[in-house]
A and B are shown apart, each in its own frame.
Chain A
């Protein structure tokens, strides 16, 4: 377990954390601001990836494809909001879970019918196609640095939007005192629709950024959705800052577990037992972390202000 490997794995942990943050940011925003459990966030992530692939096939240019796909993700989010989600506002969480779960099933099969069951791919854009040597024999794609940069940019943008703009102020006020904001003459439904559309766009953006390194296939968002929920529960529901820090912690813990748990177990156990226990422990690590956090800080590590 050399120092070099340790450093490389730290970088990998950071990058996984950033990817998780990209996905969790929209989820925590919608959940925290509108008190709406949107299980369909994962399929919005999938839709973003498919939109990008389709736009890329049409235009052949990564940047244009991302811009088109962002617009499509936004429109798609607003459409879902108009068709399904606005009817669920203020309803019981169980109703929301049931309805949005139905949306997952429907859209996953729809994606399979439209784009086929086989995985698709989006090539890495030319400008980011290089790689740097991380350690002897191991390259690190520049594109992954691009993902880290994009994640940091989204974090900064969200902070500016929420903390420094008038819309952000209204969103914060609407989250806690919706009737009063409405009484002041603000169209609260439109405000929430906007937040929702923005959340969908963030999910779609995460899908686009992940598409060149992951398989674009139906149900690709389902596994990630669980991780995203772990992130926002640990971070404190509704807190973008919490989601950012929790995503980094989870990315780091998960990567370190996968890298070193088996070797660590070999110090105490026979090699074959370590091979059984190590991977099992590594895959449970983040859930154990979540349980511990929930026990000591039920509201999460960094609860949103005002809630």
Chain B
């Protein structure tokens, strides 16, 4: 036992020296994403988008040789914490890009920030980290979680819908979704339907909706649940009569499964493949060519994260200590696929949001398309509470 202890110490010391010498000039980035299990497709989109950005920088962000260490958090907060420690302590990464899910983020944000690692979230944007729990070393390149629900609420309000039914799974994110929608929608909420997490068949809920005849339905139904709902909503013939407003339900990760059933459905998003700017056109084309499938908002977030780091390292002149990185990230300017992008006081984006619609494009692929700008330079509701 004692012998083992000494050996382990020596080994750790050797590792420390090796990692320390590498860290002096190279950039090491840990990527912590959900890459296995049912929700793996979001992580894959983020990863592919990010890697495309790195490839376009010739593997060198800001001209500094960059090593990316990919870790799968398995959507388990405890697994994520131990892998985060490993990234911070034995791999000595300067930046962690992650995570996909907010519950994982809440578990790793504190340990990583204590270890002096800069965290850039390409997806998860939980309210506590945007408000009172904000941190100088935490950045988010996607959105605050409520944003895309707010977009749909604002759209429903501006369309003059008088009676809307809300539907979401019965867990915290589902309740947050409805709260985000209602922050901007002031009309009548005819019914709030909470479904089971992982629900397969929605016939009962669809019959309730058809009987209530609302002006629109708003739903947040991520992953396979959303695919089931979209197919069944369309098969029940409701798409044409009751507008389907959604967030994180209809996008390029689920469209390959829902295809025609989703066409004509709406979602709120900060990105769509048809956003008219040069960076986006180049991104969509390069992504298709590299991976052979349609990029989603998640892919664009991964790509923008890579572009942000590239610009920040360039601006800091290759200085990779925590303070230089944070300062450079705050002000870095890069050509976002979204057009306008800047950080708010809480390190969350200020950006435009759109109403997007699922369509079949000329090439026969199913994609989203921005049809209307709903918010311009929109931040989030929690930034005021952030004292950095």
Contact with A along B370-383 (1 / 0, CB 8 A): 00000000000000
Whether A275 pairs with B203 at a CB distance below 8 angstroms is no
- Whole-angstrom distance between the alpha carbons of A120 and B254 in the complex? 8
**Does B213 sit within 8 A of A, measured CB to CB?**
yes
**Does A152 sit within 8 A of B, measured CB to CB?**
no
Given contacts A109-B36, A118-B41, contact A279 B203 (CB under 8 A): no
* Chain B residues closer than 8 Å to A15, beta-carbon distance: 201, 203
* Chain B residues closer than 8 Å to A218, beta-carbon distance: 37-38, 40
**Does A167 sit within 8 A of B, measured CB to CB?**
no
Q: Which one of A2, A117, A216 contacts B40 once the chains associate, using CB atoms below 8 Å?
A: A117
Contact with A along B212-247 (1 / 0, CB 8 A): 010000000001110110011001111001100000
- Whole-angstrom distance between the alpha carbons of A135 and B40 in the complex? 39
* Chain A residues closer than 8 Å to B196, beta-carbon distance: 279, 282-283
**Does B192 sit within 8 A of A, measured CB to CB?**
yes
* Chain B residues closer than 8 Å to A259, beta-carbon distance: 204, 207-208
* Chain B residues closer than 8 Å to A262, beta-carbon distance: 193
20 more A-B contacts (CB under 8 A) besides A118-B41, A216-B257, A220-B38? A12-B203, A15-B203, A109-B36, A118-B257, A131-B237, A135-B211, A213-B201, A214-B228, A215-B223, A217-B38, A217-B224, A218-B40, A223-B198, A258-B195, A258-B205, A259-B204, A278-B194, A279-B170, A280-B170, A283-B170
Whether B211 pairs with A120 at a CB distance below 8 angstroms is no
**Does A121 sit within 8 A of B, measured CB to CB?**
yes
* Chain B residues closer than 8 Å to A108, beta-carbon distance: 37
Whether A224 pairs with B236 at a CB distance below 8 angstroms is no
A selection of 12 A-B contacts at a CB cut-off of 8 Å is: A112-B36, A118-B256, A119-B41, A119-B224, A119-B256, A212-B231, A215-B257, A217-B224, A258-B195, A262-B193, A275-B194, A280-B170
**Does B163 sit within 8 A of A, measured CB to CB?**
no
In chain B, what residue has the closest Cβ to A257?
B204
Give B174 Cβ to nearest chain A Cβ, in Å: 10
Given contacts A15-B203, A220-B224, contact A131 B235 (CB under 8 A): yes
**Does A168 sit within 8 A of B, measured CB to CB?**
no
In chain A, what residue has the closest Cβ to B191?
A262
**Does B206 sit within 8 A of A, measured CB to CB?**
yes
* Chain B residues closer than 8 Å to A143, beta-carbon distance: 235
Given contacts A119-B227, A138-B238, A280-B170, contact A5 B211 (CB under 8 A): yes
Q: Using a Cβ–Cβ cut-off of 8 Å, how many residues does chain B contribute to the interface with A?
A: 45
Whether A223 pairs with B36 at a CB distance below 8 angstroms is no
Q: Which one of A13, A112, A215, A258 contacts B227 once the chains associate, using CB atoms below 8 Å?
A: A215
* Chain A residues closer than 8 Å to B208, beta-carbon distance: 5, 259
Whether A120 pairs with B203 at a CB distance below 8 angstroms is no
- Whole-angstrom distance between the alpha carbons of A123 and B253 in the complex? 18
Q: Using a Cβ–Cβ cut-off of 8 Å, how many residues does chain A contribute to the interface with B?
A: 54
Whether B213 pairs with A137 at a CB distance below 8 angstroms is yes
**Does A200 sit within 8 A of B, measured CB to CB?**
no
- Whole-angstrom distance between the alpha carbons of A117 and B208 in the complex? 32
Whether A2 pairs with B211 at a CB distance below 8 angstroms is yes
In chain B, what residue has the closest Cβ to A19?
B201
Whether B254 pairs with A119 at a CB distance below 8 angstroms is yes
**Does B200 sit within 8 A of A, measured CB to CB?**
yes
Give A99 Cβ to nearest chain B Cβ, in Å: 21
Contact with B along A87-124 (1 / 0, CB 8 A): 00000000000000000000011001000111111011
Q: Which one of B37, B192, B228 contacts A219 once the chains associate, using CB atoms below 8 Å?
A: B37
Give B246 Cβ to nearest chain A Cβ, in Å: 15
**Does B44 sit within 8 A of A, measured CB to CB?**
yes
Whether A120 pairs with B235 at a CB distance below 8 angstroms is no
Whether B192 pairs with A275 at a CB distance below 8 angstroms is yes
- Whole-angstrom distance between the alpha carbons of A137 and B203 in the complex? 14
* Chain A residues closer than 8 Å to B123, beta-carbon distance: none
Q: Which of A114-173 contact B (CB under 8 A)?
A: 116-121, 123-124, 131, 134-141, 143-144
* Chain A residues closer than 8 Å to B207, beta-carbon distance: 5, 8-9, 12, 134-135, 138, 259
**Does A202 sit within 8 A of B, measured CB to CB?**
no
Q: Which of A167-225 contact B (CB under 8 A)?
A: 210, 212-220, 223-224
**Does A37 sit within 8 A of B, measured CB to CB?**
no
**Does A255 sit within 8 A of B, measured CB to CB?**
yes
Give B169 Cβ to nearest chain A Cβ, in Å: 9
* Chain B residues closer than 8 Å to A55, beta-carbon distance: none
Whether B44 pairs with A135 at a CB distance below 8 angstroms is no
* Chain A residues closer than 8 Å to B213, beta-carbon distance: 137
Whether A139 pairs with B237 at a CB distance below 8 angstroms is yes
Contact with A along B175-205 (1 / 0, CB 8 A): 0000000000000000011111010110111
Given contacts A213-B228, A215-B257, contact A223 B37 (CB under 8 A): no
* Chain B residues closer than 8 Å to A250, beta-carbon distance: none
**Does B258 sit within 8 A of A, measured CB to CB?**
yes
